[in-house]
């Protein structure tokens, strides 16, 4: 009997760690003056431990809504979402750093909220700044940092939450092409070094293909999983690589088809 219970417990633990996020038959509606509007419809998706998944779709298809649901910032109207590793870390398009705090103190705030003892916060903040290649920036104010540097600090702050699942909502969309290209490479390096699971929302097809192991295309509103691609191109990739361009073209054609099918322009 004891052996049976032990085996059952082992099976439960294995099942809990079989995925970093599980989205099961999730729908989301919002109420407005014109009545209820369905934004997401019956979405099912798993993110495996250590997997990098990009969510792609036209503007307004519900990508950010889905990310907010996984983050626990809102609740689905139907279906369920499980993140067995605990609350995910979330990185927004805007850096959302506190301008009255230094880069290091912004990271320390996340560490304090996590319960890290005061004596350990600065060394850990400096370690995270080194990880995002901003060593020496601990005492810099937000206004002293470039856009790319601010996003690096925001990434370090997200990593300070010590979550195994990182949610990223178009974090590089506002950056210039060169800075974005550099941060693509940095994110890929950090992902490989930390074995994080990443769910990354974008409307940029080439960005999705450059970064991800799997690309998930949502249809236009209401958002449904229209198609998935496994990206077998070895890392590191460049956005101008021929294989990246070829797969991006294929995905773009499907995206255009979804937009035409739903009458969007």
Spell out the domains of the chain, with CATH numbers in brackets.
21-88+164-265 (3.40.50.300), 97-162 (no CATH)
Percent of the chain with pLDDT over 90: 69
CA distance 61 to 22: 20
**pLDDT, tens digit, for every residue of 97-139?**
999 999 999 999 999 998 999 999 999 999 999 999 999 899 9
- Residue 260 pLDDT: 79
Dump pLDDT digits (tens) for 150-187: 999 999 999 999 899 999 999 998 889 999 999 999 99
pLDDT of residue 2: 39
* Confidence band of 1 (pLDDT split at 50, 70, 90): very low
Q: How far is CA 19 from CA 45, 51, 76, 84, in A?
A: 10, 9, 19, 8
Nearest to 159 by CA among 196, 117, 188: 196
**Residue 13: per-residue pLDDT:** 37
- Check if the beta carbon of residue 121 is closer than 8 Å to that of residue 198: no
Question: What's the distance, Cα to Cα, between the start and end of the chain in Å?
Answer: 63
User: How sure is the predictor about 8, in pLDDT bands with cuts at 50, 70 and 90?
Assistant: very low
Rounded-to-integer distance, Cα 63 and Cα 66, Å? 5
State how far the Cα of 193 lies from the Cα of 29, in Å rounded to an integer.
38
Tell me the mean pLDDT in the region 230-253.
94
Q: Which two tokens stand for residue 13?
A: 């633990």
pLDDT of residue 263: 61
Q: In which band, very low, low, confident or very high, does the pLDDT at 60 lie, cut at 50, 70 and 90?
A: confident
d(Cα 13, Cα 255) in Å, to the nearest integer? 38
pLDDT at 233: 94
Mean pLDDT (the chain) is: 88
| Res. 22: pLDDT tops 50 | yes
- State mean pLDDT over 27-40: 86
């Amino acid at each position: 009997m004891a052996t049976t219970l032990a085996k059952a417990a082992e099976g439960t633990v294995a099942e809990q760690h079989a995925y970093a996020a599980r989205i099961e038959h999730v729908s989301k509606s919002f109420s407005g003056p014109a009545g209820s509007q369905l934004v997401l419809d019956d979405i099912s998706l798993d993110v495996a431990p250590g997997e990098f998944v990009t969510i792609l779709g036209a503007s307004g298809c519900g990508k950010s809504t889905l990310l907010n649901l996984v983050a626990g910032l809102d609740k689905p109207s139907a279906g369920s979402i499980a993140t067995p590793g605990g609350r995910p870390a979330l990185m927004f398009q805007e850096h959302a750093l506190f301008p009255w705090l230094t880069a290091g103190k912004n990271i320390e705030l996340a560490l304090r909220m996590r319960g890290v003892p005061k004596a350990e916060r600065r060394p850990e903040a400096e370690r995270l700044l080194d990880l995002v290649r901003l060593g020496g920036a601990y005492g810099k104010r937000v206004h002293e940092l470039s856009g790319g540097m601010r996003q690096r600090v925001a990434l370090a702050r997200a990593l300070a939450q010590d979550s195994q699942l990182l949610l990223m909502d178009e974090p590089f969309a506002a950056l210039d092409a060169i800075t974005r290209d550099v941060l693509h490479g940095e994110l890929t390096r950090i992902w490989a070094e930390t074995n994080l699971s990443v769910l990354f929302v974008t409307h940029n097809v080439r960005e999705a293909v450059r970064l991800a192991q799997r690309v998930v295309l949502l249809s236009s509103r209401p958002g449904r999983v229209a198609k998935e691609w496994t990206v077998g191109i070895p890392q590191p990739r460049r956005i101008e690589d021929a294989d990246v361009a070829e797969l991006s073209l294929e995905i773009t054609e499907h995206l255009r088809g979804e937009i035409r099918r739903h009458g969007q322009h």
